[in-house]
Structure 1
Amino acid sequence: MLAPDFMHEFELGDWKAVLMHLIRILIANKENSAQAMNRRYRQVPTFGRSTIRRFSDNVAGLKKLAARNYEDLLQCVILVFDGLLDGDDNKAVVSLLFTLAEWHALGKLCLHTETTLQWLEQCTTSLGSQLRKFQSETCQHFDTRELPKEAQARVRLEGRKSALQDAPPATSSRGRGRGRGRGSRARGRGSVTSTPAATATTQTSSTSTITPSLTLPNLEHPEIQQPQPQPQPKLRATAKKKEFNLHLIKLHALGDYVSFIRRFGTTDSYSTQP
């Protein structure tokens, strides 16, 4: 049986996926909603000793965030998102965020009773239904696209793939000769060509015989120029359409928390690190 990993499955998994799609919705809303979210998060004061830390000026960029930062974002998210959307969309988003915060609080309890476990089980069921409603209704009202960091990462990956496909195959020469070393280790790269040198003849005074000619390798051959790779055209980071995805193994793993806590204890009583 695999032990639930609360940090990677929920804080860096399901909650991060929901937050990223909410930011896509705010950008698609086209009413400076993403900037309003950044401004509201920046106005949230700190609390306790590293309980709620100061948020950055660009929360929508999601840069250099650890699991503790996503936890702080979830604990302060309702007041930040309330009113950024209109009508029923705002009600559905606020209700979903409340259920996410409720599930997060119940899942991290250090002491559980049968009442709290039943509460967590009901909250898990409610979270699943609200996520399906969020995908089928709220998300359909917005033309959501990739975030800038997602589009840039995809373009970089496509550029690396195209560079590998267009690269010429590597060739090596392994000809054996009487030169210094083998053909691949001679000076320069590629195939090595040598011209026959003048034959040296010696004639003795007594026998008047000619010694066999010796062919000397020509080591001073011109360097062979390697073909220069053609510059690749720069790919534009055009954001593609991005929909909310519910087919995640981390989301389906939330249903195992209640049974695991009943058998082995609370989520803070063990560690998944080796």
Structure 2
Amino acid sequence: MSTRSHVGSIGVCLAAAVALTACGGGTAKPAAGGSSRTPSASTTAAGTEPYADKTPAEIQLLASEYTRTATFKKARGTVTSEGTIVSVELSFANVDCAGTIKGEGLGRTDIHATPKVVYAKHDADALRAAFKGTKAEKELLVERAADRWLKVDATHSEAKATAYVCQLSNPATMVEDNSLHITRGGSATVDGQPAFMLTYPGSNGGTATDYIAAQGRPYLLKRTETGPEPYEVTYYDFETVTQLRAPADSEVVALE
């Protein structure tokens, strides 16, 4: 097996730990009467609660669409999968996604994903954790690939696995259709921003809570879920940057 094939398994391990738990295996569906177009935010009169004219399901759809279509945003979060805590920090600019995935015993992987190629850089711990070869083979892999950018065509299965976590750009991929079971809760604050809560059954037996911006555009500011495999994702820094810099060709190594 080539060194490139060994490295590819890293993305599968890390991305699966984050994305499969957060997504819960479900595919979100628009609420009844929903549209595939980005909906418009409601204006609220002073002293009234935001979006009082909409159902909780309509608000969740509105927030998901505003968050998904933001030209730039960041996300940070943690997820527990099979007892392992994995953390992610991602930036999204247009169709590009870049950031870091770290896990207890899984090391660190940096990624930069575009529609055409996916770059990944794994530290020594990530390589040792994912590769199941002999100690000598692991150390050879570490020597050749640790802390170096690798480039894979985006259509390759390894690239798709590595970039799977980038689906966090669309909050709707993280929930199942709970439009009939969403209830509106009280107010809250997320990173100093006023918000209000929506709660609904989670995908793994717990309770999920969405924190929706109460002022300005109705972005999803935070989503949490309790239960045996809890997770938390916070969205922030909306519309602050226009592009992400991919690794230069001189930073990328070719492994066979």
TM-score (normalised: structure 1): 0.23
Higher helix share: 1
The structure that is strand-richer by fraction is 2
- Higher alpha-carbon Rg: 1
- Please give the TM-score of this superposition, normalised by the length of structure 2: 0.24
